[in-house]
Amino acid sequence: MKNAAEAHPQLDKLPRHVAIIMDGNNRWAKAKKLPGVAGHKAGVDSVRAVIEVALRQGIQALTLFAFSSENWKRPPEEVSHLMELFKWVLKRETKRLNKYQVRLRIVGDRSAFSDDLQELMAKAEAATADNQRMTLIIAANYGGRWDLLQATRQLASAAVEGKKDPAKLTEEDLSQALALSDFPDPDLCIRTSGEQRLSNFLLWQLAYAELVFAEEHWPDFRQDAFYATLVDYSRRQRRFGGRTETSGDA
């Protein structure tokens, strides 16, 4: 049997930052005649698997869309289970993140979460703050429109206070006011479970990202599946709206 290094050899062309929309937990559970929460729990193992490959390949940042601002519309029982699972993961996984020198960042509007969950978030971030091997970013109660709105409010306040000239605002000014301002924009965005839309995720930051829509439900998206998307990315030619001399493309 091949070991991990043999099965997943080092790639030369890698994304610095990968963003993933972890979709299909409920569909996975339904297919197995299990309660929905079982799919979310199984999805935690996929998170570990993806982090393992990302670390081995040397990816700098990994952003996971864990809970969108629209997910509050789900049945109250499911939301309650998700909040308890979030607490369980924060308590259990912080030690593992430190072991592998992974820094945790959580982005989104935390005000809607319970006080004890907000406290766990802050503690986990503080406990991993000095780790430098990779940054794991969890988007929780996050929405791309919320992100753009809060950034716009920051810039509007600065303009009112005379700190910014509205006529001279640049794309960089807006980028620096967004939730992921201290990270490069994602080079690669993956969505699992066959759906082909962004669902209000990192709307500004994904403008030039390469997109991969994987058929696997998130609980089935493990090491081999993630590595395959990295291989796909390594073969793509990124133009950022331009063209190459040999392509002939518009």
Cα 250 to Cα 233, 237, 238, 246, 247: the distances in Å are 21, 14, 13, 12, 9
Asked whether residue 218 is domain-assigned, the answer is yes
pLDDT by 10s per residue, the chain, length 250: 466 667 899 999 999 999 999 999 999 999 999 988 899 999 999 999 999 999 999 999 999 999 999 999 999 999 999 999 999 999 999 999 999 999 999 999 999 999 999 999 999 999 999 999 999 999 999 999 999 999 999 999 999 999 999 999 999 999 999 999 999 999 999 999 999 999 999 999 999 999 999 999 999 999 999 999 999 999 998 776 665 544 334 3
Residues 148 and 25 in one domain: no
Residues 124 and 159 in one domain: no
Residues 21 and 127 in one domain: yes
Residues 120 and 157 in one domain: no
Q: Note whether 18 and 188 are within 8 A (CB).
A: yes
- The set of catalytic residues is 23, 71
